[in-house]
Structure 1
Amino acid sequence: MFNVRTIYVKILFNLTVFLSLLLVFLCTFTILDGVRIKETHSSDTQRLHNSWNDTIKNESKIIQPDDDFNVWLIFTKVIDKSPLMYNFKHLINNLLKISSVPLHFHIFVDSNSQIIAESIFNTTENFIFKYTYYNVHSAANSIMDIVDIMKPHFSSRPGTYYSDSLFYLSLGLYRIAPKTQKTAVMLDCDVFFKEDILNLFNEFKNFNESTLYGLAPELTPVYRHVLYSYKLKHNTRLGDSYPNGFQGYNSGVILINLSAIRKSNEYRQKVLSTEFVSTLTSKYNFKGHLGDQDFYTLLGFEHPRFFKTLSCGFNRQLCTWWRDHGYKDIFEDYFKCKQKVIVLHGNCNTRIPRK
């Protein structure tokens, strides 16, 4: 015959163990609007927090002390041991090793890619940082109107909505990012930082009230090629090489002034509209294939006040495809970069010298 008191003690013990495990789980993983946030800790926590405080104290910047250094990445449709997986792993390790400030990674993922990302984060040690996952399907739905406006003009082969949306997430980031987040850096995964990412964040200090985005020049003649018909009819330096022309922008590295975008009714209601984009693409006889990059370039033609043109050293692209496809004689005029290189960009699958 069972002792009733003994049974109650066992039940109470099991309940206590369950509640303790639940408390540990909740302390490690926080759910906020359906997004899982994990913060890692290490023995270097105090050193990095001191570095953060010294930075805020010694620098006059738009970024406030209660803000994180926000880095946004797209990590979707990833399979194990794929080039994108290795690029992502190299970039995370690179940034954690070279950054003097604690970073907050914001990552667009699907379910399988999140598992791979988690396995990569679990290999990092002795660093303090945060990371937040965002379901790419939910994010795509939240910017559906923007994607539908853009894709007829800036997508070479429109496919599924999911695929199209990846190329325009930066344009809708002001909706997706937490309202408390004032600024963001969005990166392609095929980049490598030779210098501290703080150099890039410091560029926000050079933004004025109308500056919404910061991008470095496109270092190939792709927009000279796309604007061929327009240039035949007009005496313009658009698409020509610097210093006299405008080469266009490359979206591998984007500084985004989220606060300014949220405040700009002109940009959100007029610029991001079917009428405006259709008129602009018609004016320049423009049919692109590079997503948000094409839009930024075209908008830069018409409204340069929305942009801060960064040094080419903040996005030193390595792709030479156009040199071998009709532009060998002028390619170096576009490709040269005489500024100090902070970020290498291995676009079009170019190998990055990670040294």
Structure 2
Amino acid sequence: MSYKILLNLILLVSFLVIFYVVQTNKEQTDAFRNQQEFTDNLEAGFSTSVIKSNFSEVTKLPSVSVVDKYFNIWCIFTKVKSRSSSLRYKFETLIKSIFESSSIKLSFHIITDSKSQYFAEKIFDDINSSSTTPIEFKVQYHDVKNITSQLSGLTTTMLPYFSSQPGAYYSDALFFISLGLHRVAPAIQTRAVLLDVDTKLVDDIALLFQEFNRFGERAVLGIAPELSPVYQHILYSYRNRHKHTPLGSPLSLGGFPGVNSGVLLLHLDRLRASAEYNHLLTPQAVRRLANKYSFKGHLGDQDWYTLVGMDRPHLLHLLPCGWNRQLCDWWRDHGYRDVFDSFAYCSQRTRLYHGNCNTPIPRD
């Protein structure tokens, strides 16, 4: 009797061991299959990562191959108090113009505050709901206080040289964010376009991203020429000492008129890696450049980019003027009427309007 009991126990234990081994192998096989399917989905472009309607949510994509299918557009949108705000209207005009002609998937990054974010969300929602064709885009909001706090040291360095006075329009930390965006943008981003809120696309933004392919080997950012004599004015002392300098002269006459930061192409990985560029952001280097060119600006980040363009032109890729067709003619009536047209001249097709100094943008 005891022999039969022992035999039954042995058979039961053997069965349990065999069952455990089979089940474990099955779980491992299933786990491997799931992991393989996930990898295959990433390589194919995981479709569930696309945000079409619930765009206020953020999906972090785990694969560079997926992220690179989306083109990053940054914009600063703050201090909007009401629906009737001119800033709200400008932002809506910009976003609509991008969607009207875009042929690529877009990932928007909006630097904003809580109240302005409400209006931005409404604009994207209205565009998405009224579209007759599916729109593939994503939106991520970045708190402006957090961004400016991270870049406070950089702002402190720049303010004495590129702002007219404390409290002035361009003394706001917002106008220096672009200089350090490579430090705060997600590390997975390698390229990005930063647009002023007062711009309007009239061509496919995919063509603007193609300008990255035209960068020189050491270029870290793309920027269009300034189309006004503002830097001829700022460089007055330097030009008096250097009578034949091309600096501050119109591009149409072979000069370098400075640059305008309304449209920026930021090669983020190069900006992060460039020891030369990041050294130029230090207090000592900024002071040296400002003193070298007797430069006291008042236009924030674009003053800095202009200095870099004068001293280290290889770091910049000069965009065609048609990608930043500035409309402001303030300088025409403030001492530069005789030369204004030579600065404002742009022979290239207009692909983006820039309504700087509150200049109305053509509707068509």
Q: TM-score, normalised by structure 1?
A: 0.81
Q: Which has the larger radius of gyration?
A: 2
Among 270, 273, 288, the alignment partner of 1:260 is: 270
Partner of 2:108: 105
Alignment pair present for 1:95 and 2:98: yes
1:130/1:163 Cα in 2 relative to 1: closer, same or farther (>3 Å)?
A: farther
Instruction: Check the 8 A contact 2:105/2:136 in 1, yes or no.
Output: yes
For 2:73, the equivalent position in structure 1 comes to 71
Conserved? CA contact 1:140–1:162, under 8 Å:
no
Structure 2 CA distance for partners of 1:291 and 1:136, relative to 1, 3 Å:
same
Q: Which amino acid aligns with 2:100?
A: K
The residue type paired with residue 74 of structure 2 is W
What is residue 282 of structure 2 aligned with on the other side?
273
* 1:322 matches 2:331: yes
Compute the displacement of 1:102 (Å).
1.3
- Tell whether the 8 Å contact from 1:209 to 1:260 is kept in structure 2 after alignment: no
Structure 1 counterpart of 2:255, which letter? G
**1:162: how far off?**
11
Shift in Å, 1:93: 1.2
1:305-344 alignment to 2 at 5 Å? 305-344=314-353
Secondary structure of the residue aligned to 1:239 is coil
RMSD between superposed Cα atoms in Å: 2.0
Q: Tell me the amino acid that sits aligned with residue 150 of structure 2.
A: S
**How many angstroms apart in 2 are the aligned matches of 1:352 and 1:176?**
31
- Spell out the pairing of 1:179-198 with structure 2 (5 A cutoff): 179-198=187-206
Q: Equivalent pairs: percent with the same residue?
A: 48
Question: What is residue 231 of structure 1 aligned with on the other side?
Answer: 239
2:139: which partner in 1?
Answer: 131
Q: Is the 8 A contact 1:155 1:288 kept in 2?
A: yes
> What secondary structure does 2:284 align onto?
helix
The CA deviation at 1:39 is 2.3
**Is the contact between residue 137 and residue 162 of structure 1 (CA under 8 Å) also seen in structure 2?**
no
Q: Distance in 1 between matches of 2:319 and 2:239?
A: 25
Equivalents in 2 of 1:273, 1:190: separation in Å?
Answer: 30
Per the alignment, residue 213 of structure 2 pairs with 205
Q: What amino acid sits opposite 1:103 in the alignment? A: L
Please report how far the alpha carbon of residue 164 of structure 1 lies from its aligned counterpart in structure 2 after TM superposition.
2.3
Question: For the Cα contact (< 8 Å) 2:94–2:197, is it kept in 1?
Answer: yes
1:6 corresponds in structure 2 to none
Decide whether aligned partners of structure 1 residues 163 and 108 sit closer, same or farther in structure 2, where only a CA change above 3 A counts.
farther
Task: Give the residue type in structure 1 aligned to 2:300.
Answer: G
Partner secondary structure for residue 343 of structure 2: helix
CA offsets per residue over residues 266-323 of structure 1, 9 Å max, x none? 222x211000000110111111000000000011100001000010000000111100
Secondary structure of 2:148's counterpart equals helix
Shift, 1:157, TM fit = 2.4
Greater helix share, 1 or 2? 2
Paired residues, number:
298
Is the contact between residue 108 and residue 139 of structure 2 (CA under 8 Å) also seen in structure 1?
yes
Query: Which whole-Å deviations, capped at 9, do the CAs of 1:175-219 have from their partners, x for residues lacking one?
Result: 111101000100001111111001100000011331111011000
CA distance in structure 2 between the partners assigned to 1:187 and 1:69 by the alignment = 13
* Aligned counterpart, 1:27: none
Residue 179 of structure 1 aligns to a residue whose secondary structure is coil
TM-score by length of 2: 0.79
What is the CA distance between 1:244 and its match in structure 2? Answer: 1.8
